Structures are given as C-alpha cells and as structure tokens.
C-alpha cells in the first residue's frame, strides 16, 4: 500500500456524514470495492445470503473489480477522492483534511 493511499483512506474515514463531501450509496459502494481490491485483491469469499442485502451489495461492488490490480485500485480510489474533494476544497474542514495528501 502506498502512503498516499493510506492518507486518503484515513481522510475518507474522517469525513463527517453531514460535512461538505457527501457520497451517494453508489459512490460508497464503489469506494468500498476499490478499497477491498486495493488491500486484499480479488474477492475470495462466497456471496452473502439473499437476506443480507448490505453484504450482497458490498460483495457485488468488490467482485466487479475482479482482475484489477491492487495498484490500479489504489489509483482509482485516490482519483475518486480528489474528484469528490475538489469542488469543496476551499471548505476549511476539507482543506485541513487534504493539506498533507500529495496529488500523484
């Protein structure tokens, strides 16, 4: 894992649910899938049962990335992070979060 990726993950985890960066459910799932692919590689677990709706959505988001390298998943995660942050980069909370994260 690159240090930039680790910083971006920490930044995403620090986002306030009511803050300036609001992720849709689709974006949350995409970020989840990319994170899992970047940290673990291809999904190796069985698809959750039919009544585990959230688990199935997460599994599907990760499984869509099967065959994507860990490095490419990291790069895409970072790209999406900046795509989400750039429109609100002047917000003091976001400026504080991103100040030490290099753009690769």
Condensed to tens digits (0 to 9), the pLDDT of residues 34-93 reads 999 999 999 999 999 999 999 999 999 999 999 999 999 999 999 999 999 999 988 998
Q: Where are the alpha helices (DSSP H) in the chain?
A: 3-14, 25-40, 53-63, 70-85, 92-98
Distance CA 37, CA 56 (A): 16
Per-residue confidence (pLDDT) for residue 19, from 0 to 100: 86
Q: Which CATH entry fits the domain spanning 3-13+24-98: 1.20.80.10, 3.40.605.10, 3.20.20.140, 2.60.120.10?
A: 1.20.80.10
From residue 72, how far is each of 3, 13, 41, 76, 95 by CA, in Å?
Answer: 15, 21, 11, 6, 26
Q: Where are the domains of the chain?
A: 3-13+24-98
**What does the pLDDT read at residue 36?**
97
CB-CB neighbours of 61 under 10 Å = 21
Q: What is the pLDDT of residues 10-37, one digit of tens each?
A: 999 988 888 889 889 999 999 999 999 9
Q: Are 63 and 94 in contact (CB under 8 A)?
A: no
């Amino acid at each position: 894992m690159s240090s930039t990726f680790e910083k971006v993950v920490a930044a995403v985890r620090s986002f306030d649910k009511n803050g300036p960066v609001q992720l849709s459910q689709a974006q949350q799932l995409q970020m989840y899938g990319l994170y899992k692919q970047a940290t673990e590689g291809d999904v190796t677990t069985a698809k959750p049962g039919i009544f585990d709706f959230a688990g199935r959505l997460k599994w599907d988001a990760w499984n869509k990335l099967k065959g994507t390298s860990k490095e490419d998943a990291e790069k895409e995660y970072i790209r999406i992070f900046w795509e989400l942050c750039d429109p609100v980069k002047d917000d003091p909370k976001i400026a504080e979060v991103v100040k030490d994260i290099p753009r690769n």
